[in-house]
Structure 1
Amino acid sequence: MPTDGFFSWAALNRRTGRMTGSPNIGAQSDTMSLIKAWLAADDLRRADEQGQLPRAPHLAALSAMLRDSDNPAADATYARVGRRSSIERMVRVCGLTDSAPVLDRWSNTVVSARDLVRLGRCLADGRAAGPQWTAWLLAEMRAVRGEGDFGPRDALTPEYAATVAIKNGWLLRDEDDLWHVSCLAIGETWVIGVLARYPGERGLDYGAGLCRQVGAALLLVA
């Protein structure tokens, strides 16, 4: 799958644990809004561990962060979960090897495609959000809408796509004038992660198309 920038992908079979990916599967890029899935999970798990039941406004803010990629909600959640210490917990809880907090900003968190699928498995199997909130979290990720609704599940039939949980990141960074795109898709038996960076003039649709192409190639659908 040729690109004129950075491109890495990984796929994980949730039944067998087998992982496949591009030759640079361990190369790092930043998450942007994709990390919001972890922030919500960490927040909910910690609340449950402390015997707290999040109130409706709290859950509504987390829902907006997941479904609509609301940045103020992410800022508030990041502060509540301890900022970079939350990312350090993600590395520890999910067994990641290529991920780290950067500059104490949630959007700058670095991961690899290999770690993206490990994170997806962690979100799906209950380690991230805990048994009380995993189903809620995945339902919210299936309900992602608007500008953030793109990625591998676009290659699926509408019926199948509705069963896939997603969270994506996208940003045209001023520092390098490159689009930075990340895609995470969690199916019943698989997880796909994609990372890309490419010239700004290509637009977001180019990165979304790369994520869709990975889904089409791996899931054998058009």
Structure 2
Amino acid sequence: MESHRVTRRRARSSRSRAVLSTVLASAVVVGGTAAGTVYVRAHADAGAVSSQSSVTPSASASASREASVEPAAEPSDDRDALLEKAMRAVAVEDGADVAVAVLDLDSGDSARYGDGAFDTASIVKVDILAALLLQAQDADRRLTAQEKAYATAMIEDSDNDSASALWTAIGRADGLARANKRLGLTDTTGGDGPLWGLTQTTAGDQLALLQQVFGDGSELSDASRTYLQGLMGNIAADQRWGVSAAADGAGWALKNGWLARSATGLWDVNSIGRITAGGRTYLVATLSNGSSTKEKGISLVEAAARAAVSAFA
């Protein structure tokens, strides 16, 4: 065989022949693994490169020809499984429920945990403003001074009266539905009549909304996206909780929602937004219901946000 002739030319001692034979045998084993269903993670691959650094270039080439190994694409990690594992460590109060979805904007990888529908509470205010901006774009106009005043109070201070005014302006649930069809929200249903806070949504739909606000290829114009991002980056100081708990420093833009249900006294607590952590940018949406207090709900969505980011660490 060609590899044996190379060995006789370059390594004359019997000890050298034994070493090269071992290398060749190892290469065959690795080749069989790469061709099968088992894969080696990146850190293991790095270790393999290090362990072969003492092999001469010609011997490495011979080993590669002998084993007929072609580099195989390493499958991506199962992010959903990693997120599910991370969520096992999140303490969930009896009777409470939580869902979270996350997208790494740098890689495009995403993960989701939980697919139930939740009351939006005040996070629907981002959707309301997105719908208003779409309507303004279609009419080729800018927001009026009054609309801007409502929008600022609604997002930055979570003012409910301003939300009610803009909810009416967009056409309530019907107007929201028309906007969401364009924005790609398929599992969101507007609240009855004036009850915008009881809009139903999923973590996946909220992630889709965040992509329209912060990602590429949006139905929203660059000017509309920049405007919404600016408001979400200037939230009132007492509302700077939620997904920001998973951020490094001040690298966040968010909107939170909280609502005590009158029938049960239990809390809906939600948080959506963009954060930066570990030098990467993430979109995170975490929804919850059934917490006995607002504070416990906040702790739950913050823990879920940290778990979401840890699935990509």
> Is the partner of 2:254 in helix, strand or coil?
strand
**Structure 2 equivalent of residue 11 of structure 1:** 102
Q: Give me the whole-angstrom Cα distance separating, in 2, the residues matched to 1:46 and 1:90.
A: 8
TM-score when scaled to structure 2?
0.63
**Structure 1 equivalent of residue 259 of structure 2:** 171
Considering fraction of residues, name the structure with more helix: 2
1:86/1:146 CA distance change after superposition, 3 Å? farther
Question: After the TM superposition, which parts of structure 1 deviate over 6 Å for at least 4 consecutive aligned residues?
Answer: none
Equivalent pair of 1:129/1:137 in contact (CA under 8 Å): no
Give the % identical residues.
25
Compare CA radii of gyration and give the structure with the larger one. Answer: 2
1:145/1:178 CA distance change after superposition, 3 Å? same
Read off the aligned partner of 1:154 and give its amino acid letter. Answer: A
TM-score when scaled to structure 1?
0.87
Q: Give me the whole-angstrom Cα distance separating, in 1, the residues matched to 2:123 and 2:174.
A: 17
1:99/1:17 CA distance change after superposition, 3 Å? farther
Pick the aligned partner of 1:30 from 104, 113, 119: 119
Read off the aligned partner of 1:85 and give its amino acid letter. Answer: D
**Structure 1 equivalent of residue 208 of structure 2:** 118
Pick the aligned partner of 2:304 from 197, 214, 217: 214
Q: List per-residue Cα deviations over 1:102-123 (Å, max 9, x = no partner).
A: 3232111111111111111112
Q: List per-residue Cα deviations over 1:148-203 (Å, max 9, x = no partner).
A: 32112123333xx3x32101110111022210011102236321111111243xx2
> Is the partner of 1:187 in helix, strand or coil?
strand
**Structure 1 equivalent of residue 135 of structure 2:** 46
1:186/1:211 CA distance change after superposition, 3 Å? same
Higher RCO structure, 1 or 2 (CA under 8 Å, sep 6+): 1
Equivalent pair of 1:42/1:128 in contact (CA under 8 Å): no
> Is the partner of 2:241 in helix, strand or coil?
coil
Structure 1 residue ranges without an equivalent (≥5): none
1:147/1:115 CA distance change after superposition, 3 Å? same
Q: Give me the whole-angstrom Cα distance separating, in 1, the residues matched to 2:296 and 2:238.
A: 14
1:47/1:106 CA distance change after superposition, 3 Å? same
Give me the CA root mean square deviation: 2.0
Structure 2 residue ranges without an equivalent (≥5): 1-89
Q: List per-residue Cα deviations over 1:64-116 (Å, max 9, x = no partner).
A: 10000011110110111111123212431222232212323211111111111
Considering fraction of residues, name the structure with more strand: 1
Does residue 137 of the first structure (1) align with residue 239 of the second (2)? no
